[in-house]
Amino acid sequence: MNVNLDTFNRQLAGLTGRFADLGAKLAEAAREMQDGGAPPAEALVEALAAARAEFVELLAEIVAAAESLGVAVPDHVESAKSLEPVLAAMVAATDARRRRAAFDEIRGRILTIYDRITGVRHEGDETFAPLVALQTSAKEAKAAALALTEATTDQARALMEAAGPFADLLTMLESTEALDDEKFSALEESVSTAFGRPIAVAIGRGRLLLSGQ
């Protein structure tokens, strides 16, 4: 369900203002009724009925939207004011969903990096120990990424930092000939620091290959 919270907030603010205005007019009409027995103007009665109908319709829309977001709505909502905390909870739920979607997207890209690392092979030595250790680290990092449950900014940043050297290694394997010396040196340093010099040397000599190469 497409939830437009800005529209709901504008509608609720408009209704709150109308109710305040109608309340003042109703108070004046009540004084006139008490003082002289004059009934409220028909236009005022119609305006009250229209405002109530609009409130009932808005309430139904907000309840449906809240339920789609997993936000509980009190059983008895009798005023526009009482909808404000509901909308605040809906804003929080929407923000949480957006953060979760962004986190899942980042994690998905990172999991792809780890999966590609497990497909790397050494030309001439299937049991090349540094590569075996590297791929074990990738599998452990993938398991740790999958185990995360909280979609926080700190966790997303930690995921990206942990995957950085693995991504650098893939970049070296994919684009060695296209990299300038400065970029290659930076990547080589990152890979050497994270996984050891033998891995960087094997890449430089063209011994490590991606799946399908």
Q: pLDDT tens, 177-202?
A: 777 888 889 999 999 999 999 999 99
**Helical packing angle, 84-118 and 153-175, nearest 10°:** 30
Q: Domain containing 150: what range?
A: 100-209
pLDDT tens-digit profile of 1-21?
Answer: 567 888 888 888 888 888 888
Instruction: State residue 1's pLDDT score.
Output: 58
Q: Tell me: do 204 and 129 sit in the same domain.
A: yes
Instruction: State residue 157's pLDDT score.
Output: 87
Q: What is the mean pLDDT of residues 157-182?
A: 88
Extract long-range pairs of 170-178: CB within 8 Å, 24+ residues apart: 170/113, 170/116, 170/117, 170/210, 172/200, 172/203, 173/120, 173/203, 173/208, 173/209, 173/210, 173/213, 174/210, 176/203, 176/204, 176/206
The residues facing 121 across adjacent strands are 209
Using a pLDDT cut of 70, give the percent of the chain over it. 98
Whether 176 has a pLDDT exceeding 70, the answer reads: no
Distances (CA, A) of 131 to 63, 184, 200: 56, 20, 10
Q: Tell me: do 197 and 119 sit in the same domain.
A: yes
Q: What is the mean pLDDT of residues 140-166?
A: 88
Amino acid type, 120? V
Listed residues 93, 124, 141: the one ending a domain: 93
Closest-CA residue to 40 (of 51, 27, 50, 52): 27
Q: Tell me: do 168 and 121 sit in the same domain.
A: yes
80 or 138, greater pLDDT: 138
